[in-house]
Amino acid sequence: MKLAEKLRPIRKDLLIDIVSRVGISTEDWKNFKGKDPASNPKYCYEWSFIDKVKEIALFNLWYREVVFEDDNATCRLNLRQQFKNICEREKNPKRAKRAMDFDSTLKYVAKNNIPVRVSLQEGHMLDKDEMGADGSKVKARILDDEPWSVSYDMKTGECVLTRGIIRGMATDQFGYLKIDPSYRTLKGQVLNRSKKVREIALLRSKGHCECCGEKGFETEDGRLFLETHHIEPLSEGGDDSSENVIALCANHHRQAHYGKDKGEFRKLLVKALRKKLLLCG
C-alpha cells in the first residue's frame, strides 16, 4: 500500500483521544460546563498541542496540504503569514491566536530538535477567500504512527514538516558546510561516514553538546551547530555507529583531537555517551 493511501483519513478519531495517545494530558479538558470533555471549546478546535516538560508536540495537518512522493511525506506551512492574513482579512481573533500558537510551537520544537506527532484530517478546509464564522469542518481524522521532524526558517517563518526523525534541527560541520565526510588515510583507504549515523547523534543531542551540555550556537538559518566526532577514530578501527559518534561543541571537539590529555578525554567521552544512550533507552 502506498503511503498516501495508508495515511488518508477514513474515520474520525476524537481529538481528545489523539492528544491522550501521544502522551499529552487531557485532564483539563474536563474543566468546562459541558458534559463531554471532548467538546471543550478551549481545546477541541486547537491546531497544535505541546508539553514542554515531556517534550511532546502534536500538530493537526490537512491531508490535502501534505505532499507524498514514494515513501516520503512533507507539508510546507507559514503560520506567521497565515496569522497576518487572518488579522487583515477575517479579523477572527480565535483563529489568529491558533495560528500564532501553532507558529510558536513550530519554532520551539525546531530550535529544541523535538520530534513531533501529526494527526491528518480531511473535510472542509476554510479557504483563504472564505471568511465565514463557522470555519473549517473536520469529517475524518487519524493519528500517524510515525513521528515527524520540523525545519523552521526563523527569518521568514517558512516551515517544512517531514515524516521521519532523521532530519534533526541540529546540524554539524558536514551538513552545514556541505563537506564530503569521506577521507583517505595515509594508506590510501577511503573511509566513509554514514549520514544517518551523524543525524541520529544530532537528533539525540537536541542541539546540546553531549560532553558539557552547552547549547550549540545558532546558525543563520536557525539551526543549532555542533560537530560530530568518532570517539574511537575510524582510522584506528572505530565503528561508524551511533554508539561511537558523539555530538560536541566546537571547543570540546578540538580538545578531543588536540588536547594534551586527549587519551583521558576520550575515556570521558565514552562515559558521557554511554550515559546518554542509557537515558535515551
**Alpha carbon distance 67, 65 (integer Å):** 7
Looking at the structure, tell me whether residues 152 and 231 fall in a common domain.
no
Phi, psi of 119 (to 5 degrees): -105, 135
Burial classification of residue 55, based on how many CB atoms lie within 10 Å of its CB (0-12 exposed, 13-18 middle, 19 or more buried): middle
CB 45 within 8 A of CB 98: yes
Looking at the structure, tell me whether residues 123 and 210 fall in a common domain.
no
Looking at the structure, tell me whether residues 14 and 121 fall in a common domain.
yes
Looking at the structure, tell me whether residues 24 and 147 fall in a common domain.
yes
Looking at the structure, tell me whether residues 44 and 82 fall in a common domain.
yes
Instruction: Tell me how many domains the chain contains.
Output: 2
Looking at the structure, tell me whether residues 7 and 108 fall in a common domain.
yes
Q: What is the mean pLDDT of the chain?
A: 84
DSSP character string of 1-22:
--HHHHTS--SB--HHHHHHHT
Looking at the structure, tell me whether residues 29 and 145 fall in a common domain.
yes
The amino acid occupying position 185 is: T
Span 169-219, pLDDT tens digits = 567 676 655 555 555 444 555 566 777 788 888 888 888 999 999 988 887
**What pLDDT sits at residue 9?**
95
Looking at the structure, tell me whether residues 71 and 191 fall in a common domain.
no
**What pLDDT sits at residue 135?**
61
**What pLDDT sits at residue 205?**
86
- What are residue 237's DSSP bridge partners? none
The amino acid occupying position 32 is: F
The amino acid occupying position 142 is: I
Closest CA relative to residue 274, chosen from 227, 232, 220, 218: 232
* Domain end residue (candidates: 105, 130, 163): 163
Looking at the structure, tell me whether residues 48 and 156 fall in a common domain.
yes
Decide: helix, strand or coil at residue 27. helix
Is the pLDDT assigned to residue 15 strictly greater than 90? Answer: yes
**Alpha carbon distance 73, 252 (integer Å):** 37
* Domain end residue (candidates: 104, 132, 163): 163
- What are residue 218's DSSP bridge partners? 224
* Domain end residue (candidates: 104, 130, 163): 163
Is the pLDDT assigned to residue 1 strictly greater than 90? Answer: no
Instruction: For residue 139, give its domain range.
Output: 3-163
Looking at the structure, tell me whether residues 11 and 62 fall in a common domain.
yes
Does the pTM of the predicted model rise above 0.75?
no
Looking at the structure, tell me whether residues 90 and 190 fall in a common domain.
no
Span 59-109, pLDDT tens digits = 999 999 999 988 889 999 999 998 888 888 877 888 899 999 999 999 988
Looking at the structure, tell me whether residues 146 and 188 fall in a common domain.
no
DSSP tag of 223: P
